Amino acid sequence: MKTENQKAWFFVLPVLILVAFNALIPMMTVVNYSVQETFGDNVFFWQGLDWFQQILRSDRFHAALGRQFMFTFLILIIEIPLGIAIALSMPRKGFWVPVCLVLMALPMLIPWNVVGAMWNIFTLPDIGLLGYFLNHVLGINYDMTQDPVAAWVTIVTMDVWHWTSLVVLLAYAGLVSIPDAYYQAAKIDGASNWSVFRFIQLPKMKTVLTIAILLRFMDSFNIYTEPFVLTGGGPGNSTTLLSIDLVKIALGQFDLGPAAAMSLIYFAITLLVSWLFYTVMTKDDQT
Amino acid sequence: MKKRTIVPIVYILFLMLPIYWLVAMSFKTTNEILSGFSLFPQTFTLDNYKTIFTDPSWYWGYINSIAYVSINTVISIAVALPAAYAFSRYRFLGDKQLFFWLLTNRMAPAAVFALPFFQLYSAVELFDTYLAVALAHCLFNIPLSVWILEGFMGGIPKELDETAYVDGYSFPRFFATIFIPSIKAGVGVAAFFCFMFSWVELLLAKTLTAVAAKPIAATMTKTASSAGYELGLLAAAGTLTIIPGAIVIYFVRNYIAKGFAMGRV
């Protein structure tokens, strides 16, 4: 049982100060910009909600948002089932377990722009391993700087390569926590592999899978560095995801007002969808 | 049973292929890279690595990265420990709201914060220092550390605290000599995640630095654009950024899976 103790606030204080310094001040800056217009020299004019209306009505924002949802949807639909499948087929104990875990976790520890650069080198049409293989061995015309479909396939494959291991590790953590007695009972009852999965393994993985889906949603929705390094948002605008577009507006064109309004809308969408996911996934627990 | 082992093997092969290609590239000469496709380095060379280890603008990038990553990990863990203890042991006004608010910061797109962070850290005159990057990464790492540590602390029975109190331990002494050692796996996992995020993140690190504290990853982007196609050099620098991660992950290999499972949403 937890005891009521208001002095516990003193323990939380350092965290509160540090996070507030980093979260509240920049957030207020963004809110400030989002309702003002400036022509430089630190002179600002009140603009009201004009920027928000402009962003919400702009085709450019709709297109970027659409691409972003498409990307995140593809990521979740591929990485979650794949991660579960790999976790299920991994050995539960023995010498190979740590070897598998270390090798699988490796992509997650590579700096994001190195991931982009690595995939760039890997997919170069004539001198990259994958590019050469596709173009000269299989005879498929593959060049992601020209073909939007190829660019999409490449950034999705790159993300699957980069982050599926997170789902594997989480699902695996859930699986090893299932006591052997459950499997023995299932065996006595003559349960099929599918029923073992459906009625024992899946329910036991529910918490970790909720975490996996939430983390994958948030991170793929906020992704910036890897696709930027790999494709630069191109060809054309075909892989310009939300963050890439935002950075273009804020730091490229220095349109602070629209960029700030877009930031707030962006953050609000992330929060809203995360909250919806969380509520739906944990609904059964509360009833 | 044997058929199942195919899946992890194929998956690991898929993971290793791009890494192999990067490492192979790093041992090739620029001439060989541009002259055509070769599966293995034909003219094996260490020149790319030699350039990195002798040119200060390269190797300082590594020192800078390691410096701010270490500072960030120490700060994050130091402040997250007492906070996680408070969340795991006590009820207090606004505890649930505070916990949730901390986690929402993990959801913030880094792109949203890039410009305001630049202005904030310029205003407090920390721009282009290790501390600026370390503090900025705290925004994401502190919530995560609190979350992981709280999960581990929840697994320690409260009787431990009470017994120590009865035995006459003062709180700081109990916390430092009994409590922290009993959750050292959790501290390891939390430190691992702090290290991981701070090491791989680039957008904020790049925005908050110019010369003195510039991360290695940013040095690489500059080379890629200015020096044309020095792919071998780029590959060597990339290969070297994988090594610290590989070392760290080797140390926590038995705890990674557990660290995930013990956190609660």
- Flag if A106 and B249 touch (Cβ within 8 Å): yes
Whether residue A112 contacts residue B201, with contact meaning beta carbons closer than 8 Å, is answered with: yes
- What the block records as the tokens of B26 is 């790093």
- What the block records as the tokens of A174 is 């859930």
Q: How far apart, in whole angstroms, are the C-alpha atoms of residue A187 and residue A202?
A: 17
Q: What is the b/e burial string over B59-84, where b = at least 16 CB atoms within 10 angstroms of the residue's CB? A: bbbbebbbbbbebbbebbbebbbbbb
Residues of chain B with CATH 1.10.3720.10: 58-262
Q: How far apart, in whole angstroms, are the C-alpha atoms of residue A40 and residue B155?
A: 55
pLDDT score of A125 more than 90: no
**Which residue is it, tokens 């490229």?**
A252
Fold topology of B58-262: MetI-like fold (1.10.3720)
Q: Give the residue from A6, A11, A138, A230 with the most B CB atoms within 10 Å of its CB, the best one to mutate.
A: A11
Q: In the beta sheet, which residues pair with residue A44?
A: A38
Q: Is the ipTM of this complex over 0.85?
A: no
Q: Give the residue from A9, A44, A114 with the most B CB atoms within 10 Å of its CB, the best one to mutate.
A: A114
- Flag if B104 and A112 touch (Cβ within 8 Å): no
Mean pLDDT computed over A47-58: 78
| Range of A40-44, A250-254, A268-272, B91-95 with top mean pLDDT | A268-272
Confidence of residue B264 (pLDDT cuts 50, 70, 90): very low
Per-residue confidence (pLDDT) for residue A95, from 0 to 100 = 79
- Flag if A222 and B109 touch (Cβ within 8 Å): yes
- Flag if A105 and B256 touch (Cβ within 8 Å): yes
Q: Residues, chain A, total?
A: 287
DSSP A231-253: HTT-STTTT--HHHHHHIIIIIS
Whether residue B172 contacts residue B113, with contact meaning beta carbons closer than 8 Å, is answered with: no
How many CA within 13 A on the CB side of residue A18? 27
Could you say which of B217, B224, B253 has the minimum Cβ distance to residue A111? Answer: B217
Confidence of residue B126 (pLDDT cuts 50, 70, 90): confident
pLDDT score of A285 more than 70: no
- Flag if A101 and B199 touch (Cβ within 8 Å): no
Distance from CA of B142 to the nearest CA of A (A): 7
Confidence of residue B256 (pLDDT cuts 50, 70, 90): low
Task: Report residue B3 CA to chain centroid gap.
Answer: 36
Neighbour tally for B122: CB within 10 Å? 13
Domains defined along chain A, listed by start: 52-286 (1.10.3720.10)
Whether residue B196 contacts residue A108, with contact meaning beta carbons closer than 8 Å, is answered with: yes
3-state secondary structure of A177: coil
Per-residue confidence (pLDDT) for residue B223, from 0 to 100 = 59
- pLDDT tens digits for B170-215? 888 898 888 888 888 888 888 888 888 888 888 888 888 877 777 7
**Which residue is it, tokens 């909600």?**
A49
Per-residue confidence (pLDDT) for residue B258, from 0 to 100 = 64
Q: Could you give the maximum distance between any two Cα atoms of chain A, in Å? A: 78
The percent of residues above 90 in pLDDT, for chain B, comes to 10
Whether residue A207 contacts residue B265, with contact meaning beta carbons closer than 8 Å, is answered with: yes
pLDDT score of A87 more than 60: yes
**Which residue is it, tokens 């990038």?**
B61
